[in-house]
Chains A and B, each alone.
Chain A
Amino acid sequence: MGNFDKKLERFWEVFIEHGGYVKVLTGLQNTIWIAVAGLAIGILIGTLIAIIRVAPKTNGLMKALDGLCVFYVGLFRGTPIVVQLLVAYYVMLPLIGVNIPALQVCVLVFGLNSGAYVSEIMRGGILSVDPGQMEAGRALGLSYRVTMLKIVVPQAVKNIVPTLGNEFISLIKETSVVSFVGAADLYVAFNYIGSNNYEFMVPYLVMALIYIALVAIAALIIRQVERSLRKSDRRH
């Protein structure tokens, strides 16, 4: 431990004087962007899949859509996110012949991946809402779709905010693999700092602390959201 001061000094040098902090800030920005945009896409896709999956299978189309959703969820839950990133970037993109920056590919893949998990969370949330809520809406002459969107889904979302928060925290941490396709996240930034003088101890330690701070902030936000959504349970 004697030379820890020295290591700290070297880290500081690269961090400030060699512009390391710019890389860290860019990395931080990308990490947050992938997690937030990924979750947003995930919630959209997940809600859509969940609604399709809980809808009554009255005709062939609904059955086919349901099957498609089951396949989708199985596909994205059945393969590691790294594999999905690699396949998307190095297999799908060249096959389709389009050129999309790595960062956007990451947002998309994390969104699609998260959609699979969120759909199961959301499905559980929808099933946990008292069926009487749907009956009451239908009995007033509202359609299934309207009752679902105005009455059932809002209550389901409220029930699953803690679990969605978990998903968000997982996403933040999982973004640490995006360098596999060349996107610049926190890991890339600190790896750059460390590589500058082959001194990795302090950079990786700081990286770990930043992740912890990120997750702590996320947890705080989630708690606030939960509290504000709980207003309809409060007695007044």
Chain B
Amino acid sequence: MIDVIDLKKTYGRADVLKGISTTIRQGEKIAIIGPSGSGKSTFLRCLNRMEEPTGGSIVFDGRDITDPKADIDEHRRRVGMVFQHFNLFNNKTVLENIMLAPVYLGLRDLRRQRRRHRLAGLRKLFGGGKERLPLPPIDTSAARIKAEARENALRLLKRIGLEDKAEAYPSTLSGGQKQRIAIVRALAMNPQVLLFDEPTSALDPEMVGEVLDLIRQLADEGMTMVIVTHEMGFAREVATRVLFMDGGQILEDDAPERIFSNPQHPRTREFLSKVL
């Protein structure tokens, strides 16, 4: 699904990523662990080009997304991201937060589709040009896109038990509620993969559980996910594969049981002895 080939990232003189290569397959849950400054967040953020890689390439479903000509916004619609600090839109209600991108992008696609149909109609009128494949019919409308997005958003809110917060603004919510809403906001785009950047690091301890529970549910439903985390217990339980990173490299890449009970690399051993 995602092939990462010799990915490099340098800031000025600092090499943050020194050539990362790995493959993320459909349905995998990958936990990335490692000390601070090891490059794990940078690696994650390169996967949807929130960071521009300075070398190597990332191929997503056969498309090289590091190509400067690649439509990065199109790519990001398929890759959901959840941030450490939630980043809910402060000027929007919970419902608007979830609906904004699906509605805006859905309407834009509809406008483009209609434009293509009009152009095709014009071409037909003048009988010019070569034969083209008929365009797929437009099977939706602006009202329907909005209604469906709303329905979907309410369904997602109900799922996390926050349907009564639909009209609330983010400033009125707890950290755990905000993060769960941020997760369903990403889900509302029907992404093929979810990226989590330390999703529980900014939470009060009593709220970590509710967020991890939701992530665990998504994992059980088969969502492909990449999680940068300091929650070793969670990584061990949920991940199908664990990457240990240090100094901008993947030092160990193995099943969680093996990494946590029998780490091969001395740096992994040292790190785990400190955090476990």
Evaluate whether A139 and B81 lie within 8 angstroms (CB atoms) in the complex, with A232-B171, A235-B171, A235-B172 already known: yes
| A232 in contact with B87 (CB, 8 Å) | no
| A155 in contact with B189 (CB, 8 Å) | no
| B171 in contact with A140 (CB, 8 Å) | no
Interface of A is mostly: helix
- In the docked arrangement, what's the CA distance between A155 and B79, Å? 26
- Residues of chain B within 8 A of A220, CB atoms compared: none
| A136 in contact with B74 (CB, 8 Å) | no
Q: A112-141: contact bitstring with B at CB < 8 Å (1 yes, 0 no)? A: 000000000000000000101101111111
- In the docked arrangement, what's the CA distance between A135 and B86, Å? 11
Interface segment among A42-50, A100-108, A142-150, A186-194: the answer is A142-150
Shortest CB distance B195–A (Å): 8
- In the docked arrangement, what's the CA distance between A133 and B100, Å? 13
| A136 in contact with B87 (CB, 8 Å) | yes
Interface segment among B88-96, B123-131, B150-158, B244-252: the answer is B88-96
Is B77's beta carbon under 8 Å from chain A? yes
| B74 in contact with A141 (CB, 8 Å) | yes
- Residues of chain B within 8 A of A6, CB atoms compared: none
- In the docked arrangement, what's the CA distance between A197 and B208, Å? 80
In the complex formed, the residue of B with least CB distance to A150 is B100
Q: Count of chain B residues with Cβ under 8 Å from any Cβ of A?
A: 31
- In the docked arrangement, what's the CA distance between A151 and B76, Å? 18
In the complex formed, the residue of A with least CB distance to B171 is A233
- In the docked arrangement, what's the CA distance between A55 and B62, Å? 31
- In the docked arrangement, what's the CA distance between A143 and B73, Å? 7
Interface band, chain A:
20 to 34
| A232 in contact with B90 (CB, 8 Å) | yes
Select one of A136, A146, A150, A236 contacting B168, CB under 8 A.
A236
| A138 in contact with B169 (CB, 8 Å) | no
Select one of B76, B168, B171 contacting A139, CB under 8 A.
B76
Residue from A143, A146, A158, A232 whose CB has the most chain B CB atoms within 10 Å: A232
Is A67's beta carbon under 8 Å from chain B? no
Is A74's beta carbon under 8 Å from chain B? no
In the complex formed, the residue of B with least CB distance to A156 is B91
- Residues of chain B within 8 A of A141, CB atoms compared: 73-77, 101, 105, 189
Q: B167-189: contact bitstring with A at CB < 8 Å (1 yes, 0 no)? A: 01101100000000010011001
4 tightest Cβ-Cβ pairs between the two chains A and B: A141-B77, A136-B87, A132-B87, A140-B101
Known: A132-B86, A133-B90, A139-B48. 9 other contacts (CB 8 A): A132-B83, A135-B50, A135-B87, A139-B80, A139-B81, A139-B83, A140-B100, A141-B189, A232-B171
